[in-house]
Structure 1
Amino acid sequence: MNNRRSFFKKSAAISLGAFGAHSLFNTLHAKEFKMAESLLNGEDGSPEDYWSVIQEAYTASKSDILILNNGGVSPSPTAVQVALERYNLTAAQGPSYYMWRIMDKGREPLRQRLAGLAGVDADEVAINRNATEALNTVIFGMPLQKGDEVIGTTLDYPNMMHAWNQRKLRDGIVYKQLVFDFPIENDDTIVKAYEQAITPKTKVIHITHIINWVGQIMPVRKISQMAHKHGIEVIVDGAHSFGLLDFKIPDLECDYFGTSLHKFLSAPLGTGMMWIKKDKIAKIFPLSGSEHPQSTDIRKFETLGTRSFCIEQAIGEAINFQEAIGSKRKEERVHFLKHYWGSQAIKIPGVRLHTSLKPEYSCAIAGVTVDGLTPQELDRALFKDFKIHTTAMVYKNVSCVRVTPHVYTSLADLDHLLEALDSIARKV
């Protein structure tokens, strides 16, 4: 009898997961976060006192290397790591039971929480593995015909460009790509470029909310408004914006949105979300076969076969973490970090920034170069001599090293980056 009580108690705890009073966030972080709030708002505290508590919640803040490639993928805070480990350990005791009959029950509460974070109806949200899967589902599921035109840019994410080129090859659509030289600090310049590319055959505009190569924030809402005046649908790649910028999806006025949750939301690797405006769901065919492919049910896009529900359920703790900080505060902090190092870096002789420092045009990501060095050489020097992990971005008209801090990045970390850039520039 005691074993049965223990079993049902354990099963209930798993199904509630991050949404019960005993969530791992509440257990591991809530008390410290509450104390940090008092430091932030009190006379005796400072912003850095608050953010030091957030930094401590990430094991990555104690890494042997300084991680400044959070634009690629972000580490998770302790609560998310522990949640994933516990789900995995439980599932290992009987995967077909715990995954399919217990953890699977957590998807609908998770859908509700993601919808709340995104500001949309839960019946418009599908949970998947990343932005590529979300956006490819829309791209390949749209009923486009030969001769229909799609407008994107040469600096959209490669997987999305590959998908459009595949539709071009397979279906004969026309895929136009605009060329921008970023940074651009004028929304009208960007909107006008899209509008001038429109013809009577244009059906879709594809927008990358934050350009992953150099961090330019695109004026999505203005482009969407312009596109809709011409009867054109808008797809938004929000891989780098969701969980970072303070917005709700309806603010963008787009029709489709896809994101990776393992970037700035700090959810487990291999988690993503797709949003489709309710009246558009029926016409989008699922990427994976569904019994009812023209259904209005967003869940038709979740027929992915066996996958890890453990990873999926741990997203809940990342949402708890995000909401405890607050989206506005998080955006402001990460922009502050970018501005902190960027505004000082440009004062170093030979160091150049390739991203706007203004908050309306960039947030976390910034591109940097040192005169006399290729991006690959600078990237290697930063890691070899200073154990700073960045990434070289050489593509089309972009040639720089991408630097991306996160909330767990300290000012001391960025001071180390500045010392490294200064030292490297002096040696060239």
Structure 2
Amino acid sequence: CRLAKSKGIECIVDGAHAFAQFPFTQKDLECDYYGTSLHKWLSAPIGTGMLYVKKEKIKDIWSLMASNKDQEDNIRKFEEIGTHSAALHNAIADAITFCDGIGLERKAARLRFIHHRWIDRMKQYPNVRFLQNIDDERNWCGLVLFSIDGMDGGKIGDYLLSKHRIITTPITYAEISGVRITPNVYTTLSEIDYFADILETIAKGQVKEVMASAK
């Protein structure tokens, strides 16, 4: 954001996976706009979100639905989204209370602790690669992306779901290919240990269904 500002460019941050995962403040980002999904790490209902717009920018942004003229520079003009269930946004308060009861520092520590249960076991396999600097906890918290040499990330995800009911997110971009693992605070140690057990069999080459197709 600082680089963008130095070039006169407004900065929009897609914070869908950052909010309520680990501690930070809006001031840390220095962005003009910030949007996030509240169902991810805050665990509010699906369909809820949050928008930050820098005060002086509000008047220049049109609301999705027509708003009153006197709301021109009022952030609440963006809250009008048409007919919807009030239960969704009312439940946000309970989600915030739950999150605050844990505390973001403790939550982040718990997420890293859960991840270490499987990461530390998989480090022994030279064919398993982590797509973050896993030895520096400043580079990761609730999300960890890994790949296994010679194996297809999509097939790994399909196998884990169909055979073991483990939900993961295969990621395939131009320069990134792997499987994203995102446990939450309610993930039990027995669950993450079971995942590690299965992943070890994959890393050992014992699951033929996940092998990458020859090019």
Shorter-normalised TM-score: what interval? Answer: 0.7 to 0.9
Supply the distance in 1 between the matched residues of 2:137 and 2:101 (Cα, whole angstroms). Answer: 23
Supply the distance in 1 between the matched residues of 2:71 and 2:194 (Cα, whole angstroms). Answer: 54
**Number of the residue aligned with 1:246:** 23
Supply the distance in 2 between the matched residues of 1:230 and 1:349 (Cα, whole angstroms). Answer: 43
**Number of the residue aligned with 1:402:** 180
Mapped contact 2:22–2:104 kept (Cα < 8 A):
yes
How many residues in Structure 1 have an aligned counterpart in Structure 2?
205
Supply the distance in 2 between the matched residues of 1:228 and 1:395 (Cα, whole angstroms). Answer: 28
Within the candidate set 163, 176, 195, 1:385 is matched to 163
Letter in 2 for 1:400: G
Identity percentage of aligned residues:
41
CA-CA distance at 1:349 after TM superposition? 4.8
Within the candidate set 315, 319, 325, 2:96 is matched to 319
TM-score normalised per structure 1: 0.45
| 2:64 corresponds to 1:306 | no
**Number of the residue aligned with 1:372:** 150
3-state DSSP of counterpart to 1:389? coil
Mapped contact 1:381–1:424 kept (Cα < 8 A):
no
CA displacement, residues 104-129 of structure 1 (integer Å, 9 cap, x when unaligned): xxxxxxxxxxxxxxxxxxxxxxxxxx
Letter in 2 for 1:228: K
Letter in 2 for 1:417: F
TM-score normalised per structure 2: 0.87
Supply the distance in 2 between the matched residues of 1:362 and 1:378 (Cα, whole angstroms). Answer: 22
| 2:44 corresponds to 1:273 | no
| 2:60 corresponds to 1:283 | yes
Supply the distance in 2 between the matched residues of 1:237 and 1:335 (Cα, whole angstroms). Answer: 23
**Number of the residue aligned with 1:350:** 127
Give the number of the structure whose residues are more often helix, by fraction.
1
3-state DSSP of counterpart to 2:13? strand
**Number of the residue aligned with 2:38:** 261
Mapped contact 1:345–1:352 kept (Cα < 8 A):
no
Structure of higher CA gyration radius: 1
Mapped contact 1:239–1:260 kept (Cα < 8 A):
yes
Letter in 1 for 2:72: S
RMSD over equivalenced CA pairs, Å: 1.8
Name structure 2 gaps, 5 residues minimum.
209-215
CA-CA distance at 1:339 after TM superposition? 3.2
3-state DSSP of counterpart to 2:129? strand
Letter in 2 for 1:366: V
